Chain A
Amino acid sequence: MVIWGEWRLDRSTDNLLSIHGLGVTYFQPNGEHLRALDEISLELRTGEVLGILGESGCGKSTLANAILGLLPGHARTENGQIVFHDRDLLQLSEPDLRQIRGRTISMISQEPALSLNPVMTVGTQIAEVLRAHLPLTVSQSRQRVTDLLWEVGFDQPARICNVYPHQLSGGQRQRIVIAQAIACQPAVLIADEPTSKLDGPLRSEIMDLLSGLRQKHGTAILVISHDLTLMAELADRIAVMYAGRIVEIGTRREMFLRPLHPYTQALLQLAQSSLVTVPGAKHRFPQIEGESASGVAMQAGCRFEPRCPDRMSMCVAHCPPEVAPEPARSVSCFKYGE
């Protein structure tokens, strides 16, 4: 296994990226504010894959953007820290953040089809990332691009270099984006819904590619998705998000075998019942009642309460604290009190 770069060499702790109590609010032009993230605390360890599981609108993408300082102008981070290599990313200046983006922490965004510049060859686009961070000569750069294309699974890297994005299929474009992301051998890769726009066979290819990265180079990956099968395949640990809060964290095994939070339980139940192997009879799916929480009116208590089958009277007014009922597990639910 070729460990990338200097990231492995000196580290005082095992935690590569630590997020403590992060909060983000969006201030809408019509005066409303949306608390997109609330008291988020997470740890990403070197070489591990941490999955962030949640529905659309729960704030997963906001989290990804917040780490890299890419939030839009009307968003404010209040309180919290994002510690990476002993530095708080939230306090860094824009030039310092730019040095980190694409170099030590890299992001793969959702829409591969649109994430590539239509008027530049894909080889040039990968080279641009290299150029931003590494002092390579033209020929070194070209060599590196060829190596990267090979690594992400293209058989004829030399030909692909000069091709334009519209000449490639969706899966191929996703690979190019991944090539861009790993160009500078980052320590952390943030993958935001890497497979949701792809169908069956492509999905497995990209999943294999990502797990290969971790195995070969020890990259830590933060996978953000609503897809349980992706989590089952890739993640070492899973953090479940709902409406801007983390409701449960645990190892993959524990989460699937014994989910604690009612929301996680509901998600799993849903996944089980959608299987093809169930004899094909028309039936209703076990649905989580109520609307998925988004929008402005967030109640003070537990945000899942309106839809929770196990809700209690205290859940409305009070937000459940994070507790650790078992080692390496945490959950925010009053069912698991001290």
Chain B
Amino acid sequence: MRYLGRTLLRAILLLAGISILCFLFTEMAPGSFFDELRLNPQVSPETIANLRSRYGLDQPLIVRYGRWVKSAARADFGYSIAYNAPVAPLLWGRAKNTLLLTATGMLLTWLISLPLGVWLAARRGRMLDQAFSIASSFVVSIPEVVIAVALLAIVVRWRLLPLSAGPLHGEGISLRTHVQDLATRMLLPVTILVFVESAIIVRHVRASVLEVLGTPFVQAAHSFGICRARVLFRHVLPAAASPAISLFGFSLAGLVSGSLLIEVICGWPGLGPLILEATLSRDLYLVIGGIMLSALFMVGGNLIADLMLLAADPRIRTGALDAD
């Protein structure tokens, strides 16, 4: 219980810290939203000053931060200058799309990677395992962006998929067409996500399982006549779970932030393009809102991972020191 309380407290402190840093960095970054307007000789300095004070940009940093925290407590994350609309609904609308993509990707990744990792560890050294090692090293070392662009190029070249951009929900379309449309649009980004993430996760799962396979208690289980499959899944996996759980936490944490670049490249209307645009145009509260949402998922994901570790590993639960 204590452990829980401490972790929760840490999470909250972390979020607060991130928000402060956000403000600091955006303050330090050169330029503001109105820079372009300023260049325009038709707009007078007074108009700009008015606009600035309207959006509260002329207030000192601390005041701005204080105000932001107060409204954040009321779930009001400020106003987007570019869209002239409150930040929260804007973010949330896009976040739903992102989550659709990443959650699907994550589900598929783990469904594939866990068994694959275990299977490869059990067949260590054989052809398939070695082939996988080489392939995954390759994938891991190439930047995600490059892979995404490469796959995109292939898809375009051979016209494998119809590509469209724009909002996902249209009016008056039947459910079936809607789902179909969604699926085709999701195919490319999800494939890229799964491809890139699996390479990493399978390697870790495999390494962790391999380590456990060499331990005396696994040999002992075999020596008592327990069949291979059961030893693998009932004895080895739980013991090898800890690193996998940490990774799962990272996956969760990356639900919002992990796919930003891919969305931009594939034209998926998620948070990615929005935040990119907002950052480039210095749309202050939208940027901060976006970062905080991402941070929320990060911290939340890690928290869940910590809790899962607590549940899975009895040594942490009972505060184990060496009993001898």
Contacts and interface: CB of A to CB of B under 8 A. Distances in A.
Contact of B224 (A120, A132, A164, A166): A132
A14 interface: no
Contact of B225 (A111, A132, A168): A132
B225 A102 contact: yes
Which among B217, B225, B226 has the highest number of chain A CB atoms within 10 Å? Answer: B225
Contacts of B322: 166
Contact of A103 (B217, B221, B225, B234): B225
Interface string A127-143: 01100110000000000
Given A111-B216, A115-B216, A118-B315, A68 B223 contact: yes
* Interface bin, chain A: 35 or more
Nearest to B322: A166
Interface in A124-172: 128-129, 132-133, 164, 166-170
Contacts of A115: 216-217, 219-220
Contacts of A107: 223
Interface residues of B, number: 27
Mostly, the B contact residues are helix
Interface string A91-111: 000000111111100110101
A116 B216 CA distance: 8
Nearest to A171: B324
B312 A119 contact: yes
Nearest to A170: B324
B313 interface: yes
Contacts of A177: 220
A118 to B, nearest CB: 6
A167 B319 CA distance: 10
B315 A114 contact: no
A117 interface: yes
Contacts of A181: 224
Interface in B202-228: 215-217, 219-227
Contacts of A103: 225
A9 B312 CA distance: 46
Contacts, number: 92
A119 B314 contact: yes
A167 B220 contact: no
B238 A120 contact: yes
Given A107-B223, A133-B225, A116 B217 contact: yes
A169 B322 CA distance: 9
Contacts of B216: 109, 111, 114-115
Contacts of A128: 221, 224, 226, 230, 234-235
A267 B158 CA distance: 79
B174 interface: no
A107 B241 CA distance: 28
A181 B320 CA distance: 26
Contacts of A70: 219, 222-223
B318 A164 contact: yes
Contact of A102 (B223, B234, B241, B313): B223
Interface in B260-317: 312-315
Nearest to A177: B220
A114 B230 CA distance: 19
A180 B238 contact: no
B239 A102 contact: no
Contacts of B239: 117-119
Contacts of B234: 128
B217 A102 contact: no
B320 A101 contact: no
B323 interface: yes
B123 to A, nearest CB: 13
A231 to B, nearest CB: 23
Contacts of B215: 114
Interface string B129-151: 00000000000000000000000
A13 B40 CA distance: 108
A194 to B, nearest CB: 14
Given A107-B223, A164-B320, 20 more contacts: A70-B223, A102-B224, A103-B225, A109-B216, A114-B216, A115-B219, A116-B220, A117-B221, A117-B238, A119-B312, A119-B313, A128-B224, A129-B226, A132-B224, A132-B225, A132-B230, A166-B315, A167-B323, A169-B324, A170-B324
24 contacts: A70-B219, A98-B225, A100-B225, A101-B222, A107-B223, A109-B216, A109-B219, A111-B216, A115-B216, A115-B219, A115-B220, A117-B221, A118-B315, A119-B238, A119-B239, A119-B312, A128-B234, A132-B224, A164-B314, A166-B318, A166-B320, A166-B322, A168-B323, A169-B324
Interface of B: 215-217, 219-227, 230, 234-235, 238-239, 241, 312-315, 318, 320, 322-324
Interface of A: 68, 70, 97-103, 106-107, 109, 111, 113-121, 128-129, 132-133, 164, 166-170, 177, 180-181
